[in-house]
Amino acid sequence: MTIALQQARERAHDYLKKAGIVLRPDEAAEIEIVDFGLDDLENYGIQLITYVNTERVCAKELVMFPRQTCAEHIHPPVAGEPGKEETFRCRWGTLYLYVEGEPVDPDDALATPPAGHEHGFNVFHQIVLQPGDQYTLAPNTWHWFQGGDEGAVVSEFSTKSRDESDLFADPDVDRTPMG
């Protein structure tokens, strides 16, 4: 394991503690670090821990570092199912979520795509989630999100997660976890 990977895992664990979320040591050691194959984790990535992912349900904690962006993606239909439906509930910090719909006026946008990757962002209907706020995404909906100035911790509740089937708007993105 690289030092950068271990540091990101420890930092994500610290954020979870700020949100009052307790992980066992084995869970903390398994926090997934995703930099989307772009080697720019501070700006373009996500950290997560998956508690359960069965044929019917999935529960995760997502950690976003300050101004870190999760790539625009969609959970398409798979194996005769409509795609993943997911609910995000903010636990700590602020999350800027962008989905399909009426775009926010660019002067009022609270998040911006990572420099050099603007071509991979096409939906700009803005939703702001603060602790206690939640939003449910219908299956097969394009979306992306960014942590606020202090970052964010968000619980995700969904139908079965099939991350390997996600489609990304940015052709440079690779969903494979680091390390």
Average pLDDT per block of 10 residues along the chain, 179 residues long: 89 98 97 94 96 96 98 94 96 98 96 95 98 97 98 97 93 80
Return d(Cα 38, Cα 43) in angstroms, integer: 10
| Secondary structure element (H or E) that encloses residue 150, with its range | strand 143-158
Return d(Cα 170, Cα 141) in angstroms, integer: 16
Return d(Cα 155, Cα 88) in angstroms, integer: 6
Return d(Cα 16, Cα 57) in angstroms, integer: 22
Domains of the chain with bracketed CATH: 3-168 (2.60.120.10)
Return d(Cα 178, Cα 82) in angstroms, integer: 29
Return d(Cα 73, Cα 144) in angstroms, integer: 6
Task: Give 104's contacts (C-beta < 8 A, 6+ positions apart).
Answer: 124, 125, 126
Kindly tell me the number of DSSP H helices and DSSP E strands found in the chain: 2, 9
Q: pTM of the predicted model, to two decimals?
A: 0.95
Three-state DSSP at 7 gives helix
Task: Give 172's contacts (C-beta < 8 A, 6+ positions apart).
Answer: 36, 37, 38, 117, 120
The answer to whether the CB of 120 falls within 8 A of the CB of 37 is: no
First to last CA, the chain: 6
